[in-house]
Structure 1
């Protein structure tokens, strides 16, 4: 299943390491209501894995003329911070999974569509930041996912060829990026189920990180 040798592991952040996608969606829906609008769940799901700037363009196009994305982002920020006041939840199995890979001597990196300040804040507050040797963000690359740039940058920062990296994603867009980078790509779906093309690109699709760990114990 795995190409050998495996020399590193790369991770998406939102929806894979930390349970933030549901928080973002709730904050977006509440921000829309603050402006007298409704934001359907299907539309929210269409933005999973999409960088913030592109989400802004999608929202502006969805609501049309007269909609202020600036006001929306202000309300979104207020609601997001309120929802995160109790802490940023770590996805089940993350700590054990990272411990296992680190115990095998693999350097770990994050490859995220979030900006650097957001990534450092979220991972720091979740108690995960120090577990990663490198952090590649939307701020570090020219093109966002589904382009491979952020995965290529994460591998470069580790000094490892991307084809010798495991890559873990929760979204279809992210999996496309990891696969395009040449990494050994795996999906652990969060809010969205894999598309047929995602299944074709994935070495394996796991229901959760516990299942991923069980399989990797047999191969690493």
Structure 2
């Protein structure tokens, strides 16, 4: 597929794109629900993915026999999540190769996540890559969460490009809709915990961060 406007910046989602946190989140969410006699299901997870914490846990709470405070549920989930990170956390396939390639091409990059700032910083610090993302946006930086386009419109503005010249990398239907609504070039990379979503609005569906389509798209206009 030809890209009329060569990509001039890249915005990464965080969970499920940079790290396998959706897998860890599934485990922690399931443990949280099992304490209440429930199990994590695709419907519950789908309604939570890509959204800010309070919105996601409002959705989870609606599946309980007795709804609970979303903030309290999130805090309990975070305790379980942190206890699982050392054992289960891994970078997604191709992350470091793609970062190296973007730096070789001198293409600006940033992170645009629905997660909170301390969470983003802790994950990036674990892998010593926080300095590789001069632009980062989190739940605290926007008024409207995904699928609203605000976060990706803001990311494009901060990286000094028009939205149509920014590549967005997303793993969820919610995030994909956000990037599409912002007018960006969206490549969706579904995984086992998000592949039941509707990605028909994406410009392309890739297998990994180093899919040939992504690499050729970035190189276009720089030959």
Give your verdict on TM over 0.5: yes
Alpha-carbon distance, 1:88 to partner: 3.4
Q: TM-score, normalised by structure 1?
A: 0.89
1:1-220 to structure 2, matched below 5 A, reads 1-65=2-66, 67=68, 69=70, 72-86=73-87, 88-190=89-191, 191-193=193-195, 195=197, 198-199=199-200, 201-211=201-211, 212-216=213-217, 219=220, 220=222
CA RMSD of aligned residues (A): 2.1
Unaligned runs of 5+ in 1: none
Structure 1 residues 66 and 116: alpha-carbon distance in aligned structure 2, compared to 1, 3 A threshold: closer
Structure 1 residues 68 and 139: alpha-carbon distance in aligned structure 2, compared to 1, 3 A threshold: closer
Q: TM-score, normalised by structure 2?
A: 0.88
Write out per-residue CA displacement over residues 38-79 of structure 1, whole angstroms, 9 at most, x where no aligned residue: 333442233221221111211222114364545533431221
Structure 1 residues 163 and 66: alpha-carbon distance in aligned structure 2, compared to 1, 3 A threshold: closer
8 Å contact from structure 1 (residues 31, 75) kept in 2: yes
Alpha-carbon distance, 1:83 to partner: 0.4
Alpha-carbon distance, 1:137 to partner: 1.1
Rounded to whole Å, the distance in 1 between the matches of 2:70 and 2:174 is 24
Rounded to whole Å, the distance in 1 between the matches of 2:187 and 2:42 is 26
Structure 1 residues 22 and 91: alpha-carbon distance in aligned structure 2, compared to 1, 3 A threshold: same
Unaligned runs of 5+ in 2: none
Aligned residues: 218
